[in-house]
Each structure stands twice: as C-alpha cells, then as structure tokens.
Structure 1
Amino acid sequence: MQIRRFRAPDMRQAIRKVRDAVGPDAVILSNQRLPTGEIEIVAALDYDGSMPTNISSKPKDKPSFSSKYQSELSSDYLGRIEEAKQAEPAYGKGARESELESPAVESRRPVKNETTSAVNNPESVKQLHDMELELKNVKAMLERSGRNEGLKRSAVDENSSRTERKLQGLGLSDAIVAQLMREVTLNGREDDWNRLLARLAETIPVASSSDELRGCIAFMGPTGVGKTTSIGKIAAQHVLKYGTGGVVLITTDTYRIAAHEQLRTFGRILNVPVEVVNEYTDLNDVLDKYADYSLVLVDTAGMNPRDSNLERQLLMMKRARANLKKMLVLPCTSQRQVLKSVVDVYSQVGLDGCVLSKLDESASLGEAVSVVVEEGLPVAYIADGQRIPDDIQAARAHNLISRVVYTAEHYSQLYGQLKYGS
C-alpha cells in the first residue's frame, strides 16, 4: 500500500490534487487543517484495509468545504467505506473467509478468495466507521448551513425590497433610489433607514451656509411659482436685520397689466425704492445706479417654457452684468418632468441656484429633491407659506430631508383616513 500526503489551501483543491496525482482508486485515510491554515489529506493507493499507525483516525480540525465538491469526496470515499461495511457483519460470528469476501474488494485482489485485511483488523473497521460518521456529520452541517444561508438571504432580500419601496414612497426618482441602494449597505438593523436618509441629504447641493443672500439676485421661473412673494420675504428679513438703507427692488415684468404693482406695494411697506425696467430702460443701467446697495432683488416676468416672449427675457438676463446671480424658483407642487423641463430651459442663462417654493402645498417633495440632485442645482432657500417675512429660510439639506419624510408620512396617513373613513 502506497501512502501520500497532499496539501492545499482548501479541501476542494486538495481533493483535486489527490485525483490528479493518484487517480480515482485512491482511498482517503484522513484529513486535517494544519496550523498554517492549509488542508492536508492522506491518501492510499492499492489500499489493503490496514490503517498506518502514524495516520490519525480523526482530523484535527473539521474541514469547511462547500456542497459544490462534497460529491467529489463522497463518490469514491463512501464507496470504499461501503465495501468495508458489507464485509463487517460476518466478522466475529464464525463465518468462513469466503463469506467475508466482498465482491467489490475481490475484484481488486491479485489472489482470489483472499479475506480483506480490514475485516481481520477490528481497529481498521472502527476507524472506517468513525470516518463514515464524521462525513455524515459534515453533510448534515452543510445542509443546515445551506438552509440558514437561504433563510438569511431571503430576509435580506425582503428587507431591501421593503426599504426600496419606502424610498419610492417619498417620491424620489428611480435613479436616485437605485443610487442610494448601491451606496448604502443594509445590515437589517433599525439604523438602516437613518443611514439612507443621511446619504440622501449628502447628495443635495446647497447654495450657501450663510443665512441670507447678498448682492444682485434675479428671480426667474414660470408664472405663479412665487417669485415676487419670495422677493418680498427676503427683502423684509434684510430690512428687519439691517435697515432700509441698502435694499432696492427691481422688476422687468412689463408684459402683464399692473404686473409690478405687488412689488411696489412691498416697496411702500418696507420703505425701499422700486425700479421698473421697460423698453426705455436698460437693466444694466439700473444695476449700475444701485451698485453700492448691499441687496438688489430683481423680479422677472413669469413665463412658461412655451411662451414666445421667454426668449427675449432670457436674452436680457444673458446680457446682464456678470455680478447678477440668477435664481430659479421651482414649485414643489409640480411634476418631476415639468420641473426638469423648466430647469432645462432656464439653465441657458447660467443658473446660480434655486428656491424651492410651496412646500406647504405639496403632497410629495421627493420629485423636487430628485430634480435638484440630478441637475446639480444648488438650493438657496425653501419657502413654505404666504406669511412675510416668516415663511422662508435658508436651505439646510438635513432639514429638507426631514420635510420630505414628514410630508410623505402626513399625506399617507391623511389618504388612509380618507380611504377608510377613520
């Protein structure tokens, strides 16, 4: 009987070495994990049933091999164990040697009717039994591990699906949801949701960390989005904090009858000058006139992207002084595609940021948040009411995400009450 030792990083590679070097007739006598972490297999060729004294009957450490190559071990290993089992029952009962001989063993014996050494050696039979029992235990362990892994994977998948549905319930776009699910690893713990929201907040661009805008700012956007009201709120906050000396209001809206009257009303209440830019006046001349003012707020005509007069207004903004900042007012009540089309049209003037308006009137804020994230448009202010000067504040990413979650939960509960009449 020839005995050889094989070492490999894992059981699969070790068995492959045995098959390549010795062939399918090899008998695995023992296996163990070495202190180095390698797997050592002791195999015998022309196995005669005896067990060398220097080979341990049990491995020092149970190998952790997967079910993928479990069949490679069992197909040859179990077959040889079965040969010994078939011969064992007749041992010790006075049976003749011819009755002890197994047909499978006899086929490999050079001399016919020779009894197996394993049967003549009780210790060898016991060792084979031990090896068979150990293999069965390993099989059971792998089966349990596979079931547990399947249950765990199913729980993880269910948790991911549930979390993805919650993100979609906020009104976020599919692209934003997919990005968050890729970037945040879910652990199945309660903090998964908070970590997702924190990552969402990190993706929101914010215009500035200061509490108020300074310099020359033009507010642009479709009609009815809250441009003039936002200007009145920002101007009132500045007057209350610094006085009336450094504020001026300018309007370029000469397309609608009495369109500038609301702005003039704000001017009278705040005691600040109001200038109207028309066909006889150049915007740059007016800006030069008030170059020393700390806050110059420019109101523009509200036009939708299909208005024929919009091109002239955009051209005027393009020709304006370089220090004029362009702020786009986006209503959170609009659909995501409508908001994207507005951004696409007005972005040709070089937008510096945006104001998210009408948060208090929206049933979902995720659409507006998705647009500013996808378009990379910094948020300067959020406006959530008609009160002047209270209902506007500088944008904070985490505060905005809190409003997104609150709005979704509030309207979900309200819808449930209306649906079920509770």
Structure 2
Amino acid sequence: MKIKRYFAADMRRAIQMVREEQGPDAVILSNRKVNGGVELMAAIDYDAEVVNQMAMDNTDQTPENVPSPSNNSEPDAVPMAEQTRAEAPAAPSQARAAAVNPLRKEIEWSQDPAIVAMKEELQQLSGVVLNQLNGLAWGEMRQKHPLYVKLMQYLMRMGLSPELCRTVADQITFCDSMAENWRQAMAFLASQIQTGDDDILSNGGIVALVGPTGVGKTTTIAKLAARYTLRHGSNKVALVTTDCYRIGAYQQLQTYGRILGVAVYVANSSDELHDTLEMLSDKELVLIDTAGVSMRDERLMSQAVMLAESQFPIRSYVVLSTTTQRHSQEEVVKAYSQLDFEGVILTKLDETLALGEAISVAINHQLPISYVCDGQMVPEDIHPARANNLVNRGVSMIQDSVDLPDEERVALTFGDLVAYG
C-alpha cells in the first residue's frame, strides 16, 4: 500500500491532486485542517482489511486539536501508519468491527468542516446555474409567445402571486389584441374571487375579528357596529374586547361605543368570555375585538384557543391589510389555522399600490372576501366585497403606473415555472 500526504488550500483542490496523481481508485485515509489549508492522506494499491483497521483506530483517537488527558503531545506528530501499529489491537472484536460501517463513515464525512464548505459552494453554484437556466427558458418563451410574456408582466404588476399569474395566463385563448387578452384574464380572475354577501350585517350573530396589530380591527368593528346600529338600533348591538395587552385598547373601543350608544365589555379569559356572551344572549350582533399581537407571540395562541373552544357559535374573520406583503399575509392566515374562518376583511385599500397580493392570499386559501375598508371614516369607509369591483380597482391602480417589472425580475420569478411547469 502506497500512502502519501497532500497539502492544498481547500479540500476540493486536495481531492483533485489525489485524483490526478493516484487516479480514481485512491482511498482517502484522513483529512484535517492545517495552517494555510487542509492536509489529506490518501493511499493506492491498498489492502481493504488494513484500511478498515486504520479507520477503526482513527475513530477511537482523541479528536484533533483536543489534548488527551494521558498524553499532552500533539497527536499529529506521529505518522498515521505508526499510530495504527501502536494503538490497534491484535484482533479486533466482531462488535467493534461492525461498528465501523459505511453509514458511520458517511456521518463522519458529512460533519467535516471542509465537506460542509464544499456543499455550501455547490449549493451556491447550483443556484447560479438554475437562475441561468430559468433565464434561458424565459427567453425562449419570450421569443415564441410574446403576448403571453406581456400578459404575465401586467399580472405581476398587479401583485398577483407567480402561481396565480400562471393559472390566469393559461386560461386565456390568445389573439392578436392585447386588450382582448387582458379582458379574458380579468374576467377569469374575478371568477376565482369568492365574496361574503354582506353576511355580518345581514345575519348578525357573534363575530370575532382576528389579525395582527395595526391592521385596523378596532376601526373595522366600529364601522360594522355603526352600520348595524343604523339598520336595527343600538340596543341590538354589543361590543366585547379580549385585548388586555395593548395600553388603551379598551378605551379606544369604549370611545366608539359611547358615540354609537353601544355597551362595551372586557373579557380577559375564556371563562370571562363565556359569561359575557351568556349575558349578551339577547343581542342580535356581538362584535369581538381580539388582541393584535405578533405572529410569533405565544399570546396569539391563547387568543385563538379562547375563540375555538368557546361553547358559543363564534364566526371568525381574519383582517388583512392590503399594504402588507403577501408572504406576511400568508403567515397571518397560517397562524390562526385552528380557526375555521368565515371570510377575510381587507383594509387600507386607500393606502396600497396593488391589490393582487391580498387577492392571491384569499384565492390560495379559498377565503371569501366579505368586506373592504378604504379609509378612516366611520361608518362610510366599509363596503361589502364584490369580485368585479375588486378587480377593477386593482386594474386602476396599475394604470396609474406605466412601469412594468423588468425582464430580469420576470425571468427569475417565472423562469422555473416555464422550465419545470
């Protein structure tokens, strides 16, 4: 058996040196980091039993750079072959031999810092190559189907998710008229939007609004209460808050209640909520304002459990701000996954630049859009959702801007869908 040490700046170069000098049949006996790079020991014309024996002995040795309690000398000062002869037993037991198996070697190699670094480099290279392939695939699509590409750019400008853009575009019977293609796309998009038919103000009941802080839950509750009061009278409505975390939360809701002539109650626990709802059983509409907390706050779970485990038929609606990014909106819906949502209420339509992201979330989770809010005025700025109105409003927003997503961004976004879809 011919054993030789190799020194290189990194593991990839060291392995390349072994292959160039000893060929593909060489076996790696050991590797370690040294000043200036890595040291790798390789062998050719080896005896398999001897190599296995050396692997067993190397496994039992004290890890490199950690002094042994019984020997303070550097373990690397003794050549590998001498360590093997000095420490290897005359006849290893079957149990010890069985312990050295391919799976254990694989684990040891996978934890080696040099191997980890190589994997990271390969992943980076893979990402670069994938982006280039996606760009080529999209470039070919642009040459063959320019109208398809132009439509995808407009849909992306609306803020629709890549998957929804592809779904819409695939439903179009393309013609030479871009206006006709766009009309078909918007008609199909509207057909995918479910709406709630003004169910809260029509049906009453016990309704809870959930969502993160700052999306406008309290203001939305005030708008709904005001609308219902105008239709049926203030004695038919009650407001409840479970927000015991935010300073001034009760006072804000109480202010609205005083203006509307509606009673406001506080429930800090499941028991208190149960007692309050039992007391308000004669009310036609009870609106519950929940605490607005971060999606990663453990208190969110307690709020969701309070509603989910109630003995009363509470209908929950998630409130989403249209100014929030799509991925964040997705996280909100997932965070309250244990609640069976009746629908979604979209807020801040007057502040957003695109409606497509919120529409994508609603379609993706098959949530009816019940109401939309487009201002701070109570009760004027709340409206029952209508699919065609939402689409028309989304289109009008992109008409105010002539800028379309650049080709590189579109290629990176949709290239993989074209290449592998």
TM-score, structure 2 as length reference: 0.59
1:385 to 372, 375, 380: 375
- Look up the match of 1:198: 187
TM-aligned CA distance change 1:342 to 1:293, over 3 Å: same
Asked if residue 346 in structure 1 is aligned to residue 336 in structure 2, the reply is: yes
Structure 1 residues 334-382: Cα deviation after superposition (integer angstroms, max 9, x where no partner): 1111000111011212211110011111111111111111111111110
TM-aligned CA distance change 1:195 to 1:328, over 3 Å: same
Deviation at 1:155, TM superposition (A): 9.2
- Aligned residues of 2:198 and 2:371 also touching (Cα < 8 A): no
- Look up the match of 2:360: 370
TM-aligned CA distance change 1:244 to 1:374, over 3 Å: same
Distance in 2 between residues matched to 1:373 and 1:226, nearest whole Å: 22
Number of residues paired by the alignment? 262
- Aligned residues of 1:329 and 1:356 also touching (Cα < 8 A): yes
- Look up the match of 2:173: 185
**Aligned-partner SS, 1:377:** coil
**Aligned-partner SS, 1:361:** coil
Higher relative contact order (CA 8 A, sep 6+): 2
Distance in 2 between residues matched to 1:303 and 1:392, nearest whole Å: 24
TM-aligned CA distance change 1:280 to 1:204, over 3 Å: closer
Runs (5+) with no aligned partner, structure 1: 1-152, 416-422
1:172 to 150, 156, 160: 160
TM-aligned CA distance change 1:298 to 1:211, over 3 Å: closer
- Look up the match of 1:271: 261
- Look up the match of 1:136: none
Asked if residue 327 in structure 1 is aligned to residue 313 in structure 2, the reply is: no
Amino acid at match of 1:182: D
Distance in 2 between residues matched to 1:209 and 1:184, nearest whole Å: 31
Asked if residue 241 in structure 1 is aligned to residue 234 in structure 2, the reply is: no
Runs (5+) with no aligned partner, structure 2: 1-140, 406-421
Distance in 1 between residues matched to 2:246 and 2:347, nearest whole Å: 22
Amino acid at match of 2:163: A
- Aligned residues of 2:200 and 2:207 also touching (Cα < 8 A): no
Asked if residue 259 in structure 1 is aligned to residue 278 in structure 2, the reply is: no
**Aligned-partner SS, 2:206:** strand
- Aligned residues of 1:218 and 1:297 also touching (Cα < 8 A): yes
Deviation at 1:188, TM superposition (A): 2.3
- Look up the match of 1:212: 201
Asked if residue 304 in structure 1 is aligned to residue 294 in structure 2, the reply is: yes
Structure 1 residues 378-402: Cα deviation after superposition (integer angstroms, max 9, x where no partner): 1111011101101110111110111
- Aligned residues of 1:382 and 1:393 also touching (Cα < 8 A): yes
**Aligned-partner SS, 1:348:** coil
Amino acid at match of 1:161: V
Runs of 4+ aligned structure 1 residues displaced above 4 Å come to 153-156
Structure 1 residues 40-82: Cα deviation after superposition (integer angstroms, max 9, x where no partner): xxxxxxxxxxxxxxxxxxxxxxxxxxxxxxxxxxxxxxxxxxx
Distance in 2 between residues matched to 1:404 and 1:263, nearest whole Å: 32
TM-aligned CA distance change 1:154 to 1:401, over 3 Å: closer
**Aligned-partner SS, 2:286:** strand
- Aligned residues of 1:221 and 1:227 also touching (Cα < 8 A): yes
Bigger Cα displacement from structure 2, 188-197 vs 225-234: 188-197
- Aligned residues of 1:232 and 1:389 also touching (Cα < 8 A): yes
- Aligned residues of 1:168 and 1:174 also touching (Cα < 8 A): yes
1:395 to 369, 385, 399: 385
- Aligned residues of 1:212 and 1:394 also touching (Cα < 8 A): no
**Aligned-partner SS, 1:285:** helix
Amino acid at match of 2:192: T
Deviation at 1:204, TM superposition (A): 1.0
Asked if residue 313 in structure 1 is aligned to residue 306 in structure 2, the reply is: no
- Look up the match of 1:160: 148
TM-score, structure 1 as length reference: 0.59
Q: How does 1:279-298 map to 2 (within 5 A)?
A: 279=269, 282-298=272-288
Deviation at 1:322, TM superposition (A): 4.6
| Structure index of larger Rg | 1
TM-aligned CA distance change 1:256 to 1:209, over 3 Å: closer
Q: CA RMSD in A?
A: 2.1
- Aligned residues of 1:211 and 1:394 also touching (Cα < 8 A): no
Distance in 2 between residues matched to 1:247 and 1:403, nearest whole Å: 32
